[in-house]
Amino acid sequence: MLTNTECKNATCPLGKMRLRLTDSAGLYLEISPSGTKRWFWKYYFGEKEKRLALGSYPEVGLKEARVARDDARKLQQKGVDPVFQRQADKLTSKFDANATFEAVAREFHATKAPGWSDHYAKRWLERLEKDVFPWLGKLTLAAISAPQVLQILRRVEDRGVKELQHSLLEACSQVFRYGIATGRCERNAAAHLRGALKPVLTKHMAAVLDPSQAADLMKSIFAYQGQPTTRGALQLSALLFQRPGNIRQMEWAEIDFESAMWTIPAGKMKRTKLDKINGRPHFVPLAPQAMGILKDLQPLTGQGRYVFPSLISGARPMSENTVRVALRRMGYDNETMTPHGFRAMARTLMVERTSVHPDVIEAQLAHGKSGPLGSAYDRAEFMQQRREMMIIWADYLDVLRITVKP
């Protein structure tokens, strides 16, 4: 067996790759030509010879090395490979089991934010900073109970908000699930609280859904006496039924008059950040009526970037409130019709009054896959059905506007 003096004075002879001084039960000290000294324990596991590093001398003395060897032997005798156990411990030690809820939440946010939209990432963290961290932030995940989370959510609920408490519940649940995955806790304290909150009564955005009302709306739009660009935005909102933000941000460079197509870049679509970067653009076929409106607008705004520029600066698109205000001037308040309502109007009337397949409509609305044909119809090679649909819809609106009596 080794002594402290032997360990201290040992050197590697010239010309040798290493010197090994044996202690007992597989423990030995290895000395390199540079003078570095390291403890190893040689053992057998699964009929294979293995080695476990126990530290450097003199940081780990002879006595400490023997204790480490004995601890490893106990694992071996229980059928646990000490090397594998050390690897598992290293993985676990990367995550602080005593990390607070706030620390874990911020770590989760930093992990997920690159794939979220900037707006959602900012809002997600701000909500927790205001309504969760002040009460639960300094507690460890394991110390938080379901009633404690519910108390926080009830405090928000009592403010009379509609959906925030449900969003906070989902965010807290995400943090707990991340905590379980990283070894900070073993249960999700927010997992079963959804039924404990008041339900959210969702109110759909107002829209005109009756043919006679749609006829009146189209007559009002074509008779609109305000700015020609605003009238054009109203007309194309009805004809193209795309999201209001896409309509007002339409650019002349996106319009192909030869192929009668509006191509909305993926980055402008309502998608995840990854899909904005890698996704396909959204194609909007232009019926002859839409082409006519764009050609009428070209002399007015065709020299600039936007089809519907701001009246204050052509470097910016039309304000998000322009179409809404125009609808109000025409007699349609927020309880009757909104800019987003043109999408619901097209979806409802086409399903009820035309032969267009609902999956084709959903694809043109840029909704997610709603059936077996949903994703296929969103590919360029299936554009013919959408071209036909846009003409059918434009003709239908003309018929309503011209023939339906008030």
Residue 93 has a pLDDT of 54
For residue 371, pLDDT over 50 is answered with no
Instruction: Identify whether 124 is part of a domain.
Output: yes
**Mind giving me the DSSP string for 161-204?**
-SSHHHHHHHHHHHHHHHHHHTTS-SS-TTTT-GGGSPPP---P
- The verdict on residue 389 lying in a domain is yes
Q: Are residues 189 and 309 in the same domain?
A: no
Q: Determine the average pLDDT of the residues in 149-174.
A: 93
81 plus 49 within the same structural domain: yes
Query: Last residue of a domain, which of 70, 93, 116?
Result: 93
Catalytic residue check, 120: no
369 falls in which pLDDT band (50, 70, 90)? low
Residue 97: predicted pLDDT:
62
Does 166 lie in the same domain as 60? Answer: no
| pLDDT per position as a tens digit, 263-299 | 999 888 877 676 777 778 999 999 999 999 999 999 9
β-pair type (37-45, 48-57):
antiparallel
Q: Quote the tokens at residue 389.
A: 């649909």
| pLDDT at residue 292 in the model | 97
119 in catalytic set:
no
Check if the beta carbon of residue 317 is closer than 8 Å to that of residue 248.
yes
Last residue of a domain, one of 48, 63, 93: 93
- Active-site residue, selected from the candidate residues 43, 332, 377, 396: 377
User: Domain total for the chain?
Assistant: 3
Is the same domain home to 334 and 224? yes
Domain coverage including residue 24: 4-93
Per-residue pLDDT at 246 exceeds 60: yes
Does residue 281 lie in a domain region? yes
Task: Select from 46, 66, 93 the last residue of a domain.
Answer: 93
Catalytic one of 38, 50, 273, 328: 273
Within a domain: residue 179? yes
179, pLDDT greater than 80: yes
Interval 220-245 mean pLDDT:
95
Please give the average per-residue pLDDT across 60-81, as a whole number: 91
Residues 250 and 283 in one domain: yes
3-state DSSP assignment of residue 322: helix
Check which CATH number belongs to the domain holding 9 and give it.
3.30.160.390
Higher pLDDT, 359 or 172: 172
Active site residue 243: yes
pLDDT at 403: 87
Q: Among this protein's residues, is 357 annotated catalytic?
A: no
Residue 205 has pLDDT above 70, yes or no: no
pLDDT of residue 406: 63
What digits encode the pLDDT tens for the residues 375-404?
444 444 578 999 999 999 999 999 999 987
Q: Indicate whether 128 pLDDT > 90.
A: yes
Assess whether 143 and 87 both reside in one domain.
Answer: no
Residue 162 sits at the vertex; the CA angle it makes with 160 and 168, to the nearest 5 degrees, is: 100
Residues 63 and 111 in one domain: no
CA–CA gap between residue 32 and residue 38 (Å, rounded): 9
Contacts of 373 (CB under 8 A, 6+ apart): 357, 359, 360
Structure confidence at residue 314 (pLDDT): 81
**Would you place residue 310 in the very low, low, confident or very high pLDDT band (cuts 50, 70, 90)?**
very high
Same domain, 49 and 121: no
Catalytic residue among 37, 106, 282, 343: 343
